[in-house]
């Protein structure tokens, strides 16, 4: 991979992925409420021992499709919008954990070996989600179906065409090691889109 700043699918060293700590002993609900101040339209998912339900921010609170809040047995969550992502993971036997918000910020000076930069500036790649759109859409939630899993609902701003697939939009971030090699070290989710 060639690292240059020509904007033609190369690394953008003028921008750095930055992590801002929200707390080291914070509940997922409190982290989401803080995140909602800057991202009131964020969506996301939460991992529990038995499921991975999706949610979207509504009136400053994370709500699943049925209106319920995120499960109490959450051990990890990711919430995201176009310009930032919240990551929370449980670090104790209680519902407390560590939360960081990832954003892009301009850099000044030369890049350092531990800084991460967008691989394809202003371009995302896609990670396909299970199923195909059924045509059912209700209050910002689109239904998809797959024979193996059944019906799932995803938060989506507009109704997808029946049969289309949904995908996570992702930006990859790279860093250069002390030998000059460039490798992907992180990614930031930026939205759910129909394809």
What was the pLDDT predicted at 2? 33
- Domain membership flag for residue 177: yes
The residue-averaged pLDDT of 142-162 equals 94
Instruction: Give CA–CA dist 125/186, Å, rounded.
Output: 13
- Domain membership flag for residue 6: no
- Domain membership flag for residue 153: yes
Task: Give the structural domain span for 52.
Answer: 15-194
- Domain membership flag for residue 38: yes
Q: Is the pLDDT of residue 182 over 70?
A: yes
- Domain membership flag for residue 10: no
- Domain membership flag for residue 1: no
Give the alpha-carbon dihedral of 71, 76, 81, 84, to 10 degrees.
Answer: 140
- Average model confidence (pLDDT) for the chain? 87
Lowest mean pLDDT among 1-5, 17-21, 138-142: 1-5
Better-predicted residue by pLDDT, 107 or 182 = 182
What was the pLDDT predicted at 65? 96
What was the pLDDT predicted at 119? 66
- Domain membership flag for residue 8: no
How many domains in the chain? Answer: 1
The residue-averaged pLDDT of 6-30 equals 79
Hey, is 113 helix, strand or coil?
A: coil
What was the pLDDT predicted at 109? 54
What was the pLDDT predicted at 180? 81
Query: What are the distances in angstroms from CA 61 to CA 6, 40, 159, 173?
Result: 41, 9, 23, 29
Percent of the chain with pLDDT over 90: 64
The residue-averaged pLDDT of 71-77 equals 94
- Domain membership flag for residue 185: yes
The residue-averaged pLDDT of 168-187 equals 85
What was the pLDDT predicted at 104? 85
Q: Is the pLDDT of residue 7 over 70?
A: no
What was the pLDDT predicted at 115? 66
Q: Is the pLDDT of residue 114 over 90?
A: no
Sheet containing strand 61-63, edge to edge, reads 15-26, 97-106, 84-90, 76-81, 43-47, 54-58, 61-63
User: What is the tens place of the pLDDT at every residue in 36-62?
Assistant: 999 999 999 999 999 999 999 998 899
């Amino acid at each position: 991979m060639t690292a240059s700043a020509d904007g033609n699918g190369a690394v953008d060293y003028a921008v750095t992925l930055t992590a801002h700590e929200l707390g080291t002993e914070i509940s997922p609900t409190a982290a989401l409420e803080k995140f909602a101040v800057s991202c009131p339209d964020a969506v996301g998912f939460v991992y529990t021992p038995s499921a991975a339900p999706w949610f979207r921010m509504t009136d400053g609170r994370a709500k699943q499709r049925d209106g319920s809040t995120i499960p109490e047995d959450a051990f990890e969550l990711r919430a995201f919008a176009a310009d930032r992502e919240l990551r929370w993971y449980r670090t104790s036997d209680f519902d407390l954990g560590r939360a960081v918000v990832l954003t892009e910020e301009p850099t000044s000076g030369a890049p350092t070996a531990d800084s991460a930069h967008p691989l394809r500036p202003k371009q995302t790649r896609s990670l396909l989600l299970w199923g195909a759109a059924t045509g059912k859409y209700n209050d910002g939630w689109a239904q998809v179906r797959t024979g193996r899993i059944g019906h799932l609902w995803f938060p989506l701003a507009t109704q997808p065409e029946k049969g289309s697939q949904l995908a996570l939009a992702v930006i990859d971030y790279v860093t250069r090691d002390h030998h000059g090699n460039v490798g992907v070290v992180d990614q930031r989710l930026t939205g759910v889109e129909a394809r």
